[in-house]
Amino acid sequence: MGRNVLKSSLQNASFSIIFQILFRCITFILNAFIIRTIGQDVLGIMNVRLLLLESTILFLSKEPIMKACLTNTKAHNWAQVINQVWLSVPISGLLSLVLVYVWVSVLTPTDEQYLAQYRLGCYAIALSCIIEQMTQSVVLVAQSFCFVKLRIVFETIYILSRTFIFVFLVVKYPSSAINAFSIAQIISAVILCGLNYGFFNWYINNLNVIRDKKNDNKMKEDGLYKDMNDFPFSSIFDFFPGIMDNIEKPLNKDLCVLTVSFVKQSVIKQVLTEGERYVMTLSPVLTFSQQSLYDIVNNLGSLAARFIFRPIEESAYFYFTQMIKRDEKIQQQDQSHISESANVLSQLCKVVTSIGLVVVVFGQAYSHNLLYLYGGSKLVETGLPVTLLQSHSFAIVLLAINGVTEGFVFATMSNKQLDRYNYLMVVFSVMFLLISYVLTNIFGPVGFILANCVNMTARIIHSIIYINRMYKGSPYKPLNGLYPGFKFVAILILSFIATKISEAYFQKSITIHILIGAIFFLMTVLTWALENKALLQLGYEKYKRRLSLKEE
């Protein structure tokens, strides 16, 4: 933990963005391969029904415990923390029993030709989730001690192995695509588990050898012993419950209370995050083919959210949990931490808002081209996918703002505030599901996007109120970052008009239309850069400092 938290958070965000780009590129190629090789029904079963089962089990069993255990890691009793993390294994097992029964016996059945494969897929998802939960103690330690590159490398191997196994089996047995999906899930989960435990077994063994060299004065002078002693594990078996020496109770009461708060929050957040999939799964609003079409468009529309916003949100949450204490007023805390965190929040708001606005403007004129290049003429012939993607761009800017502001709120709220907010989230969830159901029956799949916009707007308003109250009476105004500059707004309006005219006149000439968009996109980026010289200069100075440290 001697490493710089901000630096590690920024590294984590950077590597996560690269990983998300790789992962989404693979997913897009894989989806196109499935549609052309097997069909849209199979894609709907796998990407909506089965992956929703995986998301539900993992999120509800992992998210609350991991978020609680990432809070103030410097003060951890690691024996208690390891015990608590391992609670996610029996929880995931119990959730699997209940949810697999619902998925197999209660939900609308698939076609008879896919029924046996679908059942196997449900069991395989449950097993892979339990295996993945057995790795969470290692994942928590890696994140807490800033093993940033390690996580990205292992997750990349995990995604690639799952993809290659799936493609190999589908090519060999095209009629058993869902079985191939199931086998790939289990094998890749085992590989990920083995990689994590294998690395830390190697790392700890080597660390123990170095620790034994007590006469190495140079290492003492360099302060390496202190960093090594900060790492509290001396055996790979310490990652299992009940192994480490612990003179206190098996579990930490405060962490348990915090976990319970996050449980309530996670249930609600899962409903809000995957609400449209739950509506599609629990009610016959769309067929599996329509579900797959919506999923494709939703994934394309979420490029910016998944590549950039989500990694930034995760890293920002970790950063703010380390810099700001939950149960103390900001006037009573370290003012250097408060000042730095307020500046970071302001700059994050500025960056994500700017990116979201750019997506909105250029998404209106280039949705048709993106879908045509991805799925061919069949994907755009009805016009519905284009409308979906254009509508989704408005949801992205709201998603960007909500991700950063709500991440800050969750990282700094006290236990009592979290409990109170959970009740408000229940209201948001019920409203979202009701609005989704009503609007989907009126507008079709576009109703999901409209409901998301309403939900995100309500959550952003709450976060803004909380942040303003938190910094009331202080000199810090972190939410000023939400206001874009005048010149930037002007060039966005000009770009919107020019690209829509280009779309009308050069729709058949894709090259010219894309070239015009590229010119205005470059002008937009340059305008933003000129308005934010100070931010870019700060980033450049930090980059140069990092290079100089590496050279030394």
Question: Nearest-CA neighbor of 65 among 9, 133, 155?
Answer: 133
Q: Is 472 in the same domain as 489?
A: no
Cβ 264 vs Cβ 417: under 8 Å: no
Q: Is 155 in the same domain as 247?
A: yes
Q: Is 6 in the same domain as 75?
A: yes
Q: Counting Cβ atoms within 10 Å, is residue 126 exposed (0-12), middle (13-18) or buried (19+)?
A: buried
Sign of the torsion angle spanned by Cα atoms 67, 68, 69, 75: positive
Q: Is 236 in the same domain as 302?
A: no
Task: Report the pLDDT value the prediction gives residue 492, as an integer from 0 to 100.
Answer: 94
Which of the four pLDDT bands, split at 50, 70 and 90, describes residue 46?
confident
Task: Report the pLDDT value the prediction gives residue 120, as an integer from 0 to 100.
Answer: 94
Q: Is 189 in the same domain as 236?
A: yes
And the tokens for 191?
């590989």
Cβ 391 vs Cβ 449: under 8 Å: yes
Calpha distance 154→167 (Å, rounded): 20
Q: Is 338 in the same domain as 371?
A: yes
| Residues whose CB is less than 8 angstroms from the CB of residue 383 and which lie 6 or more positions away in sequence, other chains included | none
**Structural domain total, the chain:** 3
Calpha distance 361→485 (Å, rounded): 16
SS3 sequence of 56-114: HHHHHHHHHHHHHHCCCHHHCCHHHHHHHHCCHHHHHHHHHHHHHHHHHHHCCCCCHHH
- Residue that terminates a domain, selected from 437, 463, 483: 483
Structural domain for 233, as ranges: 1-266
| Residues whose CB is less than 8 angstroms from the CB of residue 79 and which lie 6 or more positions away in sequence, other chains included | 244, 245, 246, 248
Task: Report the pLDDT value the prediction gives residue 125, as an integer from 0 to 100.
Answer: 94
Would you tell me how many other CB atoms lie within 10 Å of the CB of residue 185?
Answer: 26
Q: Is 478 in the same domain as 343?
A: yes
Q: Is 502 in the same domain as 471?
A: no
pLDDT at 549 over 60: no
Q: Is 2 in the same domain as 146?
A: yes
And the tokens for 522?
């470059």
Residue bearing the bigger pLDDT, 442 or 379: 442
Would you tell me how many other CB atoms lie within 10 Å of the CB of residue 240?
Answer: 15
DSSP state of 484: -
In the three-class reduction of DSSP (H, G, I as helix; E, B as strand; rest coil), residue 142 is classed as helix
pLDDT tens, residue by residue, 243-272: 877 667 888 788 888 888 788 777 777 776
- Residue that terminates a domain, selected from 483, 500, 530: 483
Q: Is 254 in the same domain as 374?
A: no
Q: Is 7 in the same domain as 155?
A: yes
Residues of the chain above pLDDT 70, percent: 83
Question: Nearest-CA neighbor of 272 among 494, 427, 490?
Answer: 427
pLDDT tens, residue by residue, 92-116: 999 999 999 999 988 887 888 889 9
pLDDT tens, residue by residue, 420-434: 887 887 788 788 888
pLDDT at 40 over 80: no
- Residue that terminates a domain, selected from 422, 456, 483: 483
Q: What pTM, to 2 d.p., does this model score?
A: 0.66
Task: Report the pLDDT value the prediction gives residue 220, as an integer from 0 to 100.
Answer: 46
Q: What is the mean pLDDT of residues 212-239?
A: 61
pLDDT tens, residue by residue, 144-172: 777 777 877 888 888 889 888 998 998 88
Q: Is 408 in the same domain as 433?
A: yes
